[in-house]
Structure 1
């Protein structure tokens, strides 16, 4: 008796297979549409037209549902396979205008200059800095050294994070 070759849907991770359970289009079509939607900033109607040119009849609202269902699952899968980051971080914040409103832009970069994480907040205070640093540590691992600027909120947030740890993160301040 010959064994059946696994189809793409059965060879997937359980989380992704559960999401794809009731979707009736081929997986490669769904992933291509979602990738083009995210990577190239195409509108849903443009994607509908592009798929029609390729002989695939799909509605723009269907592509939107695929994006909603697949992006969160794919993001989790990509985070699990993310490369390890350097243990020396530089954390800073600046303010930028987003849709006419000023926001504080927190970011962390490693020694290679790769962005580890970022966060937009309406306020620059200890609570915002602490939330940002906890999220970055959770997703990227604990750094050995963090270089920050002279802003008191970052220092206060790092000291609050130190309270529950055995091995503290070394803090360097630079103007």
Structure 2
């Protein structure tokens, strides 16, 4: 995660240390202060605020590199949505995973309706570059309506018991959410999950 395409200009720490700190934070259920302590044990003195800035600045670039290493080509997509409270307001995290649990895409939205489901499907088709053989969802009717509009020829199985793959994919994020005492903004959550899922897909 230290490609020459990423600029580390004006950073006094080597790229390897920066990448290590960012990886530790997103891969394991660690707070920024715990990452700071782990680095201190190795003789690297850096504040948790600096680590926070590294995560914000380099996280997206690292995630982009990781996605290039293992693009998913599976043909069954499991879709699900989970409620997340941000600043006392209800939001929905829409997520798609393949049959192996590889996160294909996820997006934070304020609605849980056909328009929101359609937005997820359109993003998926654009990112994956192909349609799946089948999508699997819970009983939310919005999925069926969106599927008929976006990918009418794709098989759709809608059953609560069939969608454990997508539902289980929320568990790691729920653990981090509790540890972080929630998320403060939609943008902050979207940035976090972009890196968090890319790291978990490969490690």
RMSD of the alignment, in Å? Answer: 3.0
For normalisation by structure 1, the TM-score amounts to: 0.70
Equivalent in the alignment of 1:160: 149
When residues 107 and 62 of structure 1 are mapped into structure 2, their CA distance, relative to the original with a 3 A threshold, is closer
Aligned counterparts, 1:7-86, within 5 A:
12-14=3-5, 16=6, 18=7, 20-86=8-74
For normalisation by structure 2, the TM-score amounts to: 0.62
Equivalent in the alignment of 2:155: 171
Deviation at 1:71, TM superposition (A): 0.3
Deviation at 1:39, TM superposition (A): 1.8
Write out per-residue CA displacement over residues 147-174 of structure 1, whole angstroms, 9 at most, x where no aligned residue: 3555442233233325xxxxx6423344
Deviation at 1:47, TM superposition (A): 2.7
Counterpart among 96, 107, 120 of residue 95 in structure 2: 107
Alignment gaps of 5+ in structure 2:
160-203
Q: State the distance in 2 between where 1:83 and 1:47 align.
A: 29
Write out per-residue CA displacement over residues 15-56 of structure 1, whole angstroms, 9 at most, x where no aligned residue: x1x2x1221211221111111122223232333333233222
Equivalent in the alignment of 1:124: 112
Higher relative contact order (CA 8 A, sep 6+): 2
When residues 133 and 74 of structure 1 are mapped into structure 2, their CA distance, relative to the original with a 3 A threshold, is same
Q: How many residues align?
A: 157
Q: State the distance in 2 between where 1:67 and 1:97 align.
A: 22
Q: State the distance in 2 between where 1:125 and 1:158 align.
A: 12
Q: Which one has the largest radius of gyration?
A: 1
Q: State the distance in 2 between where 1:46 and 1:111 align.
A: 34
